[in-house]
Structure 1
Amino acid sequence: MNATLEMSDAIPGISPDIYGPADFAEVAKIVHEAAGIVLPSGKSMLVYSRLAPLVRASGLVTFGKYIQRLRSDRSELNRAVAALTTNHTFFYREAHHFEHLQAQLRPHLVRTLKDGGKVRVWSAGCSSGEETWSITMSLLGRDRHEGQQLARADLRVLATDLAPHAVEAGKAATYAAKDLKPVPEALRSAWVVERGDEAVIHDTARSIVRFRLLNLLGDWPIRGRFDCIFCRNVMIYFDNPTKERLVQRFCEALHPGGYLYIGHSERVTGPAMNMLNLVGPTIYQRSVA
């Protein structure tokens, strides 16, 4: 594909003759190395539209100079990757995962907490927090009194993403009230405070969640193992070797018997297949043995 722009495609402040196939190829290479994201040639115009504002803000004028900065400035690279990441999500997406969590896993986790044990859950690639809060409400349950008791126990939810703006949105825990409609009414009543057209996640739910910046391809400064991990609609952007390495790492981060929830169009392949059993639609359980 010829990525050279027509004048009508140009963004003000960025000349249309300073972005071509070689620039796209370099950006694609850098982004794959940094975050495992695969950018096929058909995404050339998307790359231009997402990065041109950053090029302009940097004052570097040309993509070539901006690409040089990406190779030497980690902060700018993180901004570029975040700009290229699609943060499309919504509450209670793929509802069967939350239903499984409540019906199959939650009773065990509640017993663990009431017996003085600890429970750890990870929302990996949490985007702007809709998945994380859906998980958290499902864990705390429909009874606010019981949920408050669980929150006072050793229960923590880790929410990570590589996009700073997404992590900040998740921390804010404030959404349009209409966006919470997919959540079952009993959970909304217990854990959502509506103020007109705005909805805020209840303080009790917020108290057990920790939002952090994390690149899944980098080091994981995480101690201990998880009872379940959600990583949904993230691996669709990766090539197969990257997916297989990531799922293997997730396996190693799960307790035996723990669950991995992935996106509806994603599948487990590679060495991790020897450690995971398919127990529901895109729901895998780590072998106990």
Structure 2
Amino acid sequence: MITTPPELTQAQFRKLADIIHADSGIVINEAKRSLLVARINRRLRILDLQDFGAYCQKLDGADGAQERRHLLSAITTNVTAFFREPHHFDALSSEILKPLMADARAGKRVRFWSAACSSGEEPYSLAFTVLEALPEAARHDVLILASDVDPQMVRRAEEGLYAEDAVRVLGPERSQRFMVRRDDAYAVRDDVKAMLRFVELNLHAQWPFTGKFDVIFCRNVTIYFDGEARRRLWQRFAGQLNEGGTLFIGHSERVDGPAAELFELVGTTQYRRNAVPVQTTAS
């Protein structure tokens, strides 16, 4: 028997789009309506719900907060690869890490943040680059925070298990040094994982830390935000970076708004935090 797929009314579309925007800053416009329908249809099947009206009621129900997390997971796009946009890692290796690794050897705290880590390729690429610069980094106060709004992605990243096709870009030397073969896949070595902490984190919400970072990666994320959310995030990153710290963003992004005076463009989508004080804004 052929079943007719449920229809999304305009009121339901607006309700769902408003929830997504309120929770994440992500803008869902009419051009993305079919994407929204396809992604939420999967939730309808999982939850055994008949239509979008029932799904909207669930979002308003007792377990609505938990389902809103699943909604964000369903709607977010996860496109990543090891050493994606390699010029950023080249800059890290050739310009940025030498003084930071000297700080680490001197007993100072060094912190990195992959702010939208997806399935983990970005923070692990960061870890590999750090270990190439300082093989004993794990014995120093060096830590990489890897966060994502999608709890499923955070679990996958923490597992650190990748198909052979995904690992091929690393080449044989890095693969042998940082990965171990596990059946038909590759797993990140435990001593590499020890340098990372994985957390579920919504960039649009409160951040559960106060310490500052030396390097932040947040690439190809703000392209999904509206202008206000994007400019607010740049401002918050500025407040979370040490003076002289580095922010890497996506190839089609640029720092704009009030935060622009807090950063200096020093490379291709590579910004250095300058000495201008940050005016704190509500998150």
TM over 0.5: yes
2:14 is aligned with 1:25: yes
- In structure 2, the residue corresponding to 1:278 is in which secondary structure? strand
Map 1:154-173 onto structure 2 (within 5 A): 154-173=141-160
- Residue 184 of structure 1 and its aligned partner are, at CA, apart by 5.2
CA distance in 1, matches of 2:263, 2:177: 34
- Residue 113 of structure 1 and its aligned partner are, at CA, apart by 0.8
Deviations 1:82-127, CA, capped at 9 Å, x for gaps: 0011111111100000111111111111101110111110000110
Which deviates more from structure 2 when the two are superposed, residues 86-95 or residues 63-72? 63-72
- In structure 2, the residue corresponding to 1:256 is in which secondary structure? strand
Which deviates more from structure 2 when the two are superposed, residues 44-53 or residues 125-134? 44-53
- Residue 17 of structure 1 and its aligned partner are, at CA, apart by 4.8
- In structure 2, the residue corresponding to 1:182 is in which secondary structure? helix
2:116 is aligned with 1:125: yes
CA distance in 1, matches of 2:185, 2:6: 44
CA distance in 1, matches of 2:175, 2:5: 49
CA distance in 2, matches of 1:187, 1:94: 17
CA distance in 2, matches of 1:231, 1:271: 18
- In structure 2, the residue corresponding to 1:181 is in which secondary structure? helix
- Partner residue, 1:111: 102
CA distance in 2, matches of 1:183, 1:241: 38
Deviations 1:55-81, CA, capped at 9 Å, x for gaps: 233344221231132244111000011
Map 1:206-245 onto structure 2 (within 5 A): 206-245=193-232
Aligned length: 274
- Residue 136 of structure 1 and its aligned partner are, at CA, apart by 0.7
Task: Give the partner amino acid of 2:86.
Answer: A
Contact (CA 8 Å) 1:244, 1:271: kept in 2 or not? Answer: yes
Contact (CA 8 Å) 1:177, 1:194: kept in 2 or not? Answer: no
Map 1:42-81 onto structure 2 (within 5 A): 42-72=31-61, 73-81=64-72
TM-score by structure 1 length? 0.90
- Partner residue, 2:280: none
Contact (CA 8 Å) 1:127, 1:170: kept in 2 or not? Answer: yes
Task: Give the partner amino acid of 2:84.
Answer: R
In structure 2, the gaps of 5 or more residues are 277-283
- How big is the alpha-carbon RMSD for the aligned residues of Structure 1 and Structure 2? 1.8
- Partner residue, 1:3: none
Contact (CA 8 Å) 2:6, 2:52: kept in 1 or not? Answer: no
Task: Give the partner amino acid of 1:54.
Answer: R
Contact (CA 8 Å) 2:220, 2:251: kept in 1 or not? Answer: yes
CA distance in 2, matches of 1:186, 1:104: 23
- In structure 1, the residue corresponding to 2:53 is in which secondary structure? helix
Which deviates more from structure 2 when the two are superposed, residues 193-202 or residues 125-134? 193-202
Change beyond 3 A, Cα 1:185–1:96 = farther
Contact (CA 8 Å) 2:81, 2:122: kept in 1 or not? Answer: yes
- Partner residue, 1:84: 75
Task: Give the partner amino acid of 2:112.
Answer: V
Contact (CA 8 Å) 2:147, 2:201: kept in 1 or not? Answer: yes
TM-score by structure 2 length? 0.91
